[in-house]
Amino acid sequence: MDQITLTIPAKPEYVMVLRLTASSIACRADFCLDDIEDLKVAVAEACILLMNQRYGAESLKILFSLQPGEALKVDIEVDSFDMDNRAESDVNAKNELGFYIIKALMDEIDIRSENDIIRSISMYKRCGG
C-alpha cells in the first residue's frame, strides 16, 4: 500500500491543492472518472468542515492510503487549532450539508470528534464502488 502525506495551512485557497492531489492519486489507482469527481468533492467538503468550526484550524494533515485498482482511504485531521480564533455559534448548522455530501459520495466515513470539535474525518472509496 502506497501512502502520501500532506500538511497544509487551513485556508480555503489550499483546498484546490488537495482536490488536484486526490484527483491525481485516484487516477493513478485506475478509478473511473465519476469516482475521481466524487473523491475531489468529498475531500474538499471534509476540509471545509474541519476549517469551519468553533475554533479555527491552523493546519490540516492529510494521509492518502492507496491500494491501486482496489481502494483509496483519505484521512484528514486538524493538526493544530487556533484557540483564540472563535467562529460564530451556528457553524454546526452550516456544516450539516457537507456531512450529507460526503456520506453520499464515499463508501465509508468515520468522524472523530472531541468536545464538540471535529478532530478528523476518514473516508474510504472502493474503485468502481
The pLDDT tens digits for 17-42 are: 999 999 999 998 889 999 999 999 99
Higher confidence at residue 53 or residue 93?
A: 53
The domains of the chain, with CATH numbers, are 2-126 (3.30.565.10)
Name which residue leads in pLDDT, 67 or 31. Answer: 31
Report the pLDDT value the prediction gives residue 73, as an integer from 0 to 100. 95
pLDDT at 49 over 80: yes
Q: Provide DSSP, the chain.
A: -EEEEEEEES-GGGHHHHHHHHHHHHHHTT--HHHHHHHHHHHHHHHHHHHSSSEEEEEEEEEEEEETTTEEEEEEEEEEEEEEEEPPTTHHHHHHHHHHHHHHH-SEEEEEEETTEEEEEEEEEETT-
Distance CA 7, CA 79 (A): 8
| Partner residues linked to 75 by β-bridges | 63, 122
pTM: 0.86
Residue 53 has pLDDT above 90, yes or no: no
Considering only CA atoms, which of 48, 66, 65, 67 is closest in space to residue 57?
A: 48
- Give dist(CA 54, CA 127) in Å, integer: 35
